[in-house]
Amino acid sequence: MMAVIFVFAAASGEGPVVPDAPPRHIVIVLVDALRADHLGCYGYERNTSPFIDTLAAESVLFESAYSQSSFTVESTLSLFYGIYPSANPWGGGQYANTNPKVKDLVRLLAAGGYHTAYFSTNPTLDYTELHRSFDEHEFLAKTYDKKSQSGRLTERALRSMADHKDQKTFTYLHYVSPHTPYTPPDEYYLRFAPEIYPEPLDAIDDVRAHLDTLLAEGFGPGEARFEDLMLRYDAEIAQDDDAIKALFKGLKALGTLEDTLLVFVADHGEEFLEHGSVEHAWSLFSESIHVPLLFWMPMRLTPARIPTPVALVDLLPSLLELAGLPPAEHAVDGAPLFQRENGAWVPKPKEKPIIAELLNPVRNVVRAVVEGEYLYIAAPKWLTLEERVTISQNMAVSREETLRGIRPSPHPWGALQYEALFNRKKDPAEKENILEAMPEVRDHVQDILNAFRERCPDQVPDPVKISRIPNVISHDIRIFLEEKGYLKPESTPEEQSEEMEETLQSLGYF
């Protein structure tokens, strides 16, 4: 199949590729909620990803790539800034947003002459300011549609690429099909089953909101309803696999494929009861943060499989390096994954601890450290099953009502409610907590987190972050902003905007 893709590339009208030159076109393809171990190239037995597997054979594949959160916004912002959520005063929590004082990857590539475009089917990112960094953007879905928009996303991206194929381009595509509610077309479901399961559970209304009852009924691996749920997730992976195949076909037709660097990645994984939860944004075990990461650029990168643990924060310095641009002006937590040797780019990731964070005050507050073969979990807030179910049942009501009866969120660096250490090599399922058996390792990973804490800035308060979200300032939030002096009582919207900007500047947020 490698020869087929090179035949595609041969149609390029841009002239021969110069191996030493930066790529003219950079594409990040991110598939939301895609865990690495549900792809064939990462060892999955079900044929969910035939095209991605072909792509992987021609790529530098990182076997142990980790996202910086199991929550989309925290994870995606970390990718675009190259820093961990807590290292960015705007980067943590349910209302994480862009940092107005720091240039993200988009602005850095734009400064290098790249036209930038952003197309997404994930409505979660709509409220952030991230899209404002791009020259053009479009959100193709306002909700998590039961009908996938992945095909439309590919078509929209190709129209943009066609319009700008004579320029240097950077395109970010955010596919979302494997995300709940898991509603694949029948044709994809029937790739993996002889018939459609007649009594499927809704992943949100049934499973998320009634998990305790379902578990009491035997819901879990081997049970028909559970297996149907996972099969639907896998079928949606197959659906996005076809959408990405169509993207490559379109790039071939445009004649730009040969001079394209494509990065394939996910923002986080997905849980299927490995540690008692479903979906994501509840924990930071490997099923939530082990993600696929491929760099496809056959004319410049020799295919390889790299076992060294790496992180999404490594993408910013890596892409700047491969694009021949200066490093970011701000300190980053990531490091380039490639270096030049004898005139060629070779993968050389650094051995380093990797940190992930989930700072959602309504759900769990938890951090993880990946250090060598160990995974350390430290949670100042760790909800019981009953508490998780109560929150899930109240997602549609106000935040205040949701929190009624649930213990309040502690300080994000406070005393731990849950702590665990796992040897990922000897115990890949992460079932045996060896925290007490390995005191030296425990102390070492605790020191890593303590050192990280010391250098982290104070987080911008949630109400200030929310104030940047259009049409979201509720009465309660306005009162908070007035009490803190961010807004004057009874000010007009125009005055509010000016007052907010002046106040944030005085506080050092801008």
pLDDT tens, residue by residue, 116-134? 999 999 888 878 899 999 9
The tokens for 442 are: 């425990």
Q: How many CB atoms lie within 10 A of CB 431?
A: 9
Which residue intervals of the chain bear CATH 3.40.720.10? 2-12+24-181+241-347
pLDDT-derived band of residue 15, with 50, 70 and 90 as boundaries?
Answer: low
The pLDDT tens digits of the residues spanning 225-272 come to: 999 999 999 999 999 999 999 999 999 999 999 999 999 999 999 999
pLDDT-derived band of residue 8, with 50, 70 and 90 as boundaries?
Answer: very low
Strand residue runs (E) in 292-436:
293-296, 304-306, 310-311, 338-341, 344-347, 354-359, 365-371, 374-381, 418-423
The pLDDT tens digits of the residues spanning 339-397 come to: 999 889 999 999 999 999 999 888 899 999 999 999 999 999 999 999 899 888 776 44
pLDDT-derived band of residue 508, with 50, 70 and 90 as boundaries?
Answer: very low
Helix (H, G, I), strand (E, B) or coil at 22: coil
The pLDDT tens digits of the residues spanning 332-351 come to: 999 999 999 988 999 999 99
Q: Does domain 2-12+24-181+241-347 have CATH number 3.40.930.10?
A: no
Look up the pTM and report it: 0.90
Mean pLDDT computed over every residue of the chain: 89
The tokens for 163 are: 């319009």
- Are 278 and 215 within 8 A, CB to CB? no
CA angle 486, 487, 492 (to 5 degrees): 150
Average pLDDT over residues 192-212: 95
305 pLDDT more than 80: yes
Q: Which of 355, 334, 259, 329 is nearest to 299 (CA)?
A: 259
Q: What is the pLDDT of residue 365?
A: 96
Radius of gyration of the chain (CA): 23
The pLDDT tens digits of the residues spanning 148-158 come to: 889 999 999 99
Which residue intervals of the chain bear CATH 3.30.1120? 354-455
Do you know the residue count of the chain? Answer: 510
Average pLDDT over residues 406-428: 89
The tokens for 360 are: 């959602």
**How far is 47 from 260, CA to CA, in rounded Å?**
27
- Are 377 and 364 within 8 A, CB to CB? no
Q: Which of 268, 458, 452 is nearest to 367 (CA)?
A: 452
Determine if residue 180 is left, alpha or beta; phi over 0 gives left, psi from -120 to 50 gives alpha, anything else beta. beta
Task: For CA atoms 300, 306, 312, 318, give the dihedral sign.
Answer: negative
Give DSSP secondary structure letters for 253-279: HHT-GGGEEEEEE-S---EESTTS-EE
The tokens for 115 are: 């036209």
Alpha-carbon dihedral 473, 476, 478, 479, rounded to 10 degrees: 180
Q: What is the pLDDT of residue 405?
A: 54
CATH class label, 354-455: alpha beta
Task: Indicate the pairing of strand 169-175 with strand 115-120.
Answer: parallel
The rounded percent of the chain whose pLDDT value lies above 90 is 75
Q: Which of 91, 60, 93, 104 is nearest to 345 (CA)?
A: 60
**How far is 43 from 226, CA to CA, in rounded Å?**
21
pLDDT-derived band of residue 509, with 50, 70 and 90 as boundaries?
Answer: very low
The tokens for 149 are: 């928009």
The pLDDT tens digits of the residues spanning 439-466 come to: 999 999 999 999 999 999 999 988 788 7
The tokens for 137 are: 């953007």
Tokens 């992987």 sit at which residue?
Answer: 56
The tokens for 78 are: 């970390």
Alpha-carbon dihedral 27, 32, 38, 39, rounded to 10 degrees: -10
